[in-house]
Chains A and B, each alone.
Chain A
């Protein structure tokens, strides 16, 4: 599946805007992502391994928080996962 990496996190993903991973669930895809790009881990997860509260994840166009299975939701190779960052620029 394809994971979209937002601009602020690209330096920690080798500058890439998308990363392809093979995974069966949303959670597994994040594991695969942070295994390939360890620098991302600290930006996505707390020390206890919980997803950080200000990180928004969307499976296709749905907020993972509102999916019944949440991070255990099954994914296929055709799905996309978007990490939506807080950005505040405007001036």
Chain B
């Protein structure tokens, strides 16, 4: 695949010849290849775990225009894996922190900052100016959004995804290859697959997978080698095993198939079953009342009957706890006998996601009064007791 016509390739400067000398002597790159890299326009969606190594290596390699999409700010819990950001960047916009590192690494690169959350309203407008998209996002709605936008615009989508010790990589949405929806026609229901924030991730893993993505981007630009089009690479970092599976283009794919039914971007939150919180629903989610940490504090101070069920793991409990009874989420179904039915149960976890799921489970199991502690122990540390260790 070529991303630019050879006639329009930019000249290499004297600085370029020196900087990229190890590329220039590779027969697969050479002068023309390096010129193609210089002419290329690549969009990195996200400057987090995957986006950090992606952006750093693409900048080092001399990709002429690198777009960055991010709206987040650097948090200390990012630094275990998001190597583009430093300790002194905590609290800064990720996109500014990333730009600074990238410009220091290679001042000749044109960094384009898109400080926004990619959405159905802006995705086509942002992506249309790029040749290749590298998807380093962290949620299902954005995965489907990036895929569909790439298919609609005919831009290759270099995909990487991680969870705990496990990673996936592929190249989607090329002219002849499958897309993300050919592999995953439907998203899992919300809450079934934990996010890295809930389930954890080995800090090195996004480095491994992001570098695979960067490699695929460069190969697509060069038009050399065998890309991951039509193959899903599975990375198991714990056993250090790489496997690959064949991916096929689904002729009935709703977006890239023969008779597509998705011809414009849709509401991806809704597609993924995520119901937006309306003001009334903020207090009740899926039938579970949401208790604020302030209200819990008030109840404890007033000496009201309060049974807190902490559904985190024992090692989390060791880091911080707020006086709950510890029953890890996976043990709850087998230990219902220990949870009183005649008291109100306040289910609590780290951020309020796992506890919501367990609260729903308890309600289904017939518990008459179950509430979820909104924001979990993190909200408690933020709003009630800063001496509670955040993690």
For B138, the chain A residues whose CB sits under 8 A away are: 88-91
**In the bound complex, do residue B246 and residue A90 qualify as a contact, i.e. CB atoms below 8 Å apart?**
no
Note all chain B residues with C-beta closer than 8 A to A6. 166
Residues of chain A contacted by B248 (CB below 8 angstroms): 63, 66
Q: Using a Cβ cutoff of 8 Å, how many contacts connect chains A and B? A: 102
Chain A CB within 8 A of B67 CB: no
Q: Residue of A at shortest CB range from B166?
A: A7
Tell which of B193-201, B255-263, B303-311, B319-327 binds the partner: B193-201
Complex CA distance for A84 and B166, rounded to whole angstroms: 11
Q: Smallest CB-CB separation from B209: which chain A residue? A: A90
Contact partners of A62 in chain B: CB under 8 A: 245-246
Q: In whole Å, how far is A7's beta carbon from the nearest beta carbon of chain B?
A: 4
B135 within 8 A of A: yes
- B136 proximal to A (CB < 8 A): yes
Query: Within the assembled complex, what's the spacing in Å between the Cα atoms of A54 and B245?
Result: 16
A residues near B160, Cβ cutoff 8 Å? 90
CB interface residues, B 276-333, toward A, < 8 Å: 330
B192 close to A43 (CB less than 8 A) = yes
Contact flags B32-58 to A (C-beta < 8 A → 1, else 0) = 000000000000001011110000000
A residues 58-73 near B (Cβ < 8 Å) are 58, 61-63, 66
- Taking the complex as formed, is A87 at the interface, i.e. its CB lies under 8 A from any CB of chain B? yes
Question: Max chain B CB contacts within 10 Å: which of A11, A17, A63?
Answer: A63
Q: When the two chains form their complex, are residues B136 and A84 in contact, meaning their CB atoms are under 8 A apart?
A: no
Q: Are B135 and A90 in contact (CB under 8 A)?
A: yes
CB of B11, distance to nearest CB on chain A (Å): 36
Scan A1-19; emit 1 where CB is below 8 A from any B CB, else 0: 0000011100100000100
A86 with B49, Cβ < 8 A, contacts A11-B330, A91-B82, A91-B196 known:
no
**Distance in Å: Cβ of A57 to nearest Cβ of chain B:** 10
Which residue from A53, A66, A82, A87 sits with its C-beta under 8 Å from B193?
A: A87
Complex: chain A residue closest to B247, CB-CB: A63
Q: Say which residue of A43, A61, A91 sits within 8 Å of B245 (CB atoms).
A: A61
B20 interface residue (CB < 8 Å to A): no
CB of A91 within 8 A of CB of B137, answer: yes
Q: Which residue numbers of A lie inside 8 Å of B, CB to CB?
A: 6-8, 11, 17, 43, 53-54, 56, 58, 61-63, 66, 82, 84-91
Give me the 5 closest cross-chain CB pairs, A-B, nearest first: A91-B48, A91-B138, A89-B196, A87-B163, A53-B186
Extra contacts besides A89-B138, A90-B196, A91-B82 (17): CB < 8 Å? A54-B186, A54-B187, A61-B245, A62-B246, A63-B248, A85-B188, A86-B140, A88-B161, A88-B195, A89-B163, A90-B49, A90-B51, A90-B136, A90-B138, A90-B162, A91-B51, A91-B138
